[in-house]
Structures are given as structure tokens and as C-alpha cells.
Amino acid sequence: MTFPGLDRIEALARNLDSWQRELAGKMTELEDSSAEGMSDSGLVRVTAAADGTIVSTEVNARAMRLDSYTLAEEFTAAAKRAQEAAAARVRELVGEVMADAPGGGGVMADAPGGDRPAEARRPAAGSQLPDDRPDWY
């Protein structure tokens, strides 16, 4: 007796080792990655790690001519851009790994709502779940 899914399971098992090695490499790449963000004026540059932690800042000497409010805005804009770029890099690397996952097509593509952002799949704050439980339940 043959089982229709057995060939697929065997193929998945054969590919699992190479996928795990690729995943480890991507994780290392992710841990070592960072992203930069620059203010509109170009006077402030911020570097963020993959987890969004600010790891360095650079301030052009001309920025010292700015008032404190404007300088704070410059730092905020540069930091936000650095963190957004770092998050985009994380999404890119995770997408590459998931697309190459055993079984192909990506794991999340098969999940309900996998093609929508997480916010679109969650009930809105304060809304009721289908069984009328509050969302904090």
C-alpha cells in the first residue's frame, strides 16, 4: 500500500537540513545587520540594529547652529527612519527564509490571512471577539 503524501514528507525531510543551515546563516546576517536613517537636512545620521535599538548617532558640526527643538526633530526623524529601515530589512530576510522553507511557497502564504498585515487580522482595540468576549480576555 502506498501513501500519497509519503513522497512529499520524504522530500521535506531531505530538504530540512539545508533549510536549517540557510536559516542559521540568515539569523547571523540578521544579528549583524543594521540600518541608517538620516534627517531631512542631512545633519543627523542614526544607525539602528535589526531589533530597532539605536547603536550610533552622528551629528554634523553645522547642526550645532540649530535650536534645541529643531535638533530634537532632526534626531527623531533620523531615528525613525533608521528603525523603519531596520524593520524592512528584517521583513526582507524573514521573507527570503519563509519563501525557501520546506514545502515551498512560504509558510505564511498558506495561513489564514497570510497575505494581510497582522493589524488587519486582529480585532480592533475595544472590539468584541466573535463569541462576544472582550479582546483582553
What percent of the chain has pLDDT above 90?
A: 39
Residue that wins the pLDDT comparison between 20 and 116: 20
Residue 131 is predicted with a pLDDT of: 54
73, pLDDT greater than 70: yes
Residue 136: what are its φ and ψ, rounded to 5°?
A: -90, -5
Q: Which residue has the higher pLDDT, 10 or 100?
A: 10
In sequence order, which residues have a C-beta less than 8 Å from that of residue 8 and are 6 or more positions away? 103
Which residue ranges form the domains of the chain, and what is each CATH number? 34-99 (3.30.1310.10)
Strands (E), the chain: 34-38, 44-49, 54-59
Residue 127 pLDDT level (bands cut at 50, 70, 90): very low
> Angle at the Cα of 73 (from 61 to 64), degrees rounded to 5?
20
Residue 107 pLDDT more than 70?
A: no
